[in-house]
Amino acid sequence: MRFSGWRVLREGLTGNKGWAPHWRDPEPKAEYDAIIIGGGGHGLSTAYYLAKNHGMTNIAVLEKGYLGGGNVGRNTTIVRANYGMPGNSEFYSHSLKLWEGMEQDLNYNVMHSQRGIINLFHSDGQRDAFARRGNTMIGQGDDAELLDRAAVKRMLPYLDFDNARFPVYGGLLHRRGGTARHDAVAWGYARGADQRGVDLIQQCEVTGIDIENGKVRGVQTTRGPIRAKKVGIVVAGRSGQVAAMAGMRLPIESHVLQAFVTEGLKPVIDHVVSFGMGHFYISQSDKGGLVFGGDLDFYASYASRGNMPMMEHVMEAGMTLMPMIGKAKVLRSWGGIMDMTPDGSPIIDKTDTEGLFIDCGWCYGGFKAVPGSGFSFAHLMATGDHHGPAAKFRLDRFRTGYGLMDEEATGAQHNLH
């Protein structure tokens, strides 16, 4: 079934009786060429690109819950390529290009909206740092514009420009940045993978990884054993538990990151805006809700919910930056489980077990990486070679100390990102 404006019109006039499910619900086979553990954004895009780019269609995605029920369905939907470190810079640049062609490629409306991201700065030093970052982005082939205070005032008249502690000096504008409909990204990749023959198996929890003589043989699941010579682990916050099934310990601590959404309002915030204080950022969904968040709660947690101190901090930051949102009522808050690495950058690599691959450590930035991560991980799984834009996401960088990508320059240590 192909989606088009004509199709929507026809279905609208004929009682919407022609729509079919977007993917099958197959029984697991006894053996596949490759298994992806984890049916989130990254797992589904990996399956899609394995099938599309590498012709591997006898593969399965195993998901313990339902497709897209984890972080891809719980994030704040921001898409951008404004990283500064070699390694991250080329990867997110590649990922953003995939975003720009995603809807046509998948024939799926992911509501990708390049509304522009503005990172505000509040001091001369911060301006210098942002100018440098902007130049790095331009050097990478992406876009960046340094806005002065007057230009920011024209775009975002509602900010408190003369705040005593954090006056707005200007902002770094990344026009190709924006948002997307998060669930639709997972669904679009799921449908694309399914159409190419990939089995998407839900309610199927992996309980063990079978390894013989240093080679992976398959997995044990709640729906029986499944054999495969290649297995990819793509389970975000649960990476530690799944890797433990293969006898591995990872450089990952799982932390909780909260996000918030208000009641639906008329259009008022036209961009994604980030505050140079406490990681606060905000955008407005197409439904009208203000979607915003801030820092991690900063303690290891699998609770999928945070505590009051960070909630209070985020609200204070929002009120400091744009007092106009004070009367909006917060509708919901939630927490996602972030797979935090010591340097704040991800891992796409082989493991010591032949045929076992891992894609993890996306910290609090996994959503924008969904297409790039799947593309590069599929390349690694299919060919055994690292894919150019993700070639620096190595697992051994923490042991050797070589190639650490500490984007925030706080030190490559747990709890600092």
Q: Using CB under 8 A, pick the residue from 40, 84, 134, 251 that binds other proteins.
A: 251
Q: Using CB under 8 A, pick the residue from 111, 151, 155, 300 that binds other proteins.
A: 300
- Residue 18 interacts with other proteins (CB under 8 A): yes or no: no
**Residue type (1 letter), 399:** R
Q: Using CB under 8 A, pick the residue from 241, 268, 383, 410 that binds other proteins.
A: 241
Looking at residue 332, the DSSP 8-state letter turns out to be E
Torsion (CA) 70, 342, 350, 27 in degrees, nearest 10: -10
- Residue 207 interacts with other proteins (CB under 8 A): yes or no: no
Q: Using CB under 8 A, pick the residue from 240, 355, 366, 372 that binds other proteins.
A: 240
Torsion (CA) 134, 138, 141, 144 in degrees, nearest 10: 60
In sequence order, the β-bridge partners of residue 165 are none
Least distance CB 277 / other proteins (angstroms):
17
Least distance CB 305 / other proteins (angstroms):
8
- Residue 414 interacts with other proteins (CB under 8 A): yes or no: yes
Looking at residue 13, the DSSP 8-state letter turns out to be H
Q: Using CB under 8 A, pick the residue from 302, 332, 383, 408 that binds other proteins.
A: 302
Residues 270 and 291 sit within 8 Å (Cβ to Cβ):
no
Residues 40 and 189 sit within 8 Å (Cβ to Cβ):
no
DSSP string over 125-173: HHHHHHHHHHHHHHHTT---EEEEHHHHHHH-TTS-TT-SSS---EEEE
Task: Give 67's contacts (C-beta < 8 A, 6+ positions apart).
Answer: 23, 39, 40, 44, 61, 186, 187, 190, 200, 202
Residues 283 and 77 sit within 8 Å (Cβ to Cβ):
yes
Task: Give 296's contacts (C-beta < 8 A, 6+ positions apart).
Answer: 255, 256, 257, 310, 338, 340, 364
Q: Which is nearer to other proteins, 59 or 360 (CB)?
A: 360
Place of tokens 């055994």: 384
Q: Using CB under 8 A, pick the residue from 158, 161, 334, 398 that binds other proteins.
A: 398
CA distance 155 to 163: 18
Q: Using CB under 8 A, pick the residue from 95, 179, 301, 351 that binds other proteins.
A: 301
Q: Using CB under 8 A, pick the residue from 59, 185, 252, 272 that binds other proteins.
A: 252
Q: Which is nearer to other proteins, 207 or 241 (CB)?
A: 241
Return the range that interacts with other proteins (CB under 8 A); candidates 52-60, 239-247, 326-334, 380-388: 239-247
- Residue 298 interacts with other proteins (CB under 8 A): yes or no: yes
Least distance CB 396 / other proteins (angstroms):
9
Count of residues touching other proteins (by CB under 8 A): 26
List the x/- string, 329-368, binding to other proteins by CB under 8 A.
Answer: -------------x--------------------------
Q: Using CB under 8 A, pick the residue from 100, 160, 253, 406 that binds other proteins.
A: 253
The site for other proteins (CB under 8 A) is made up of: 238-241, 244, 249-254, 298-303, 307, 309, 342, 398-400, 413-415
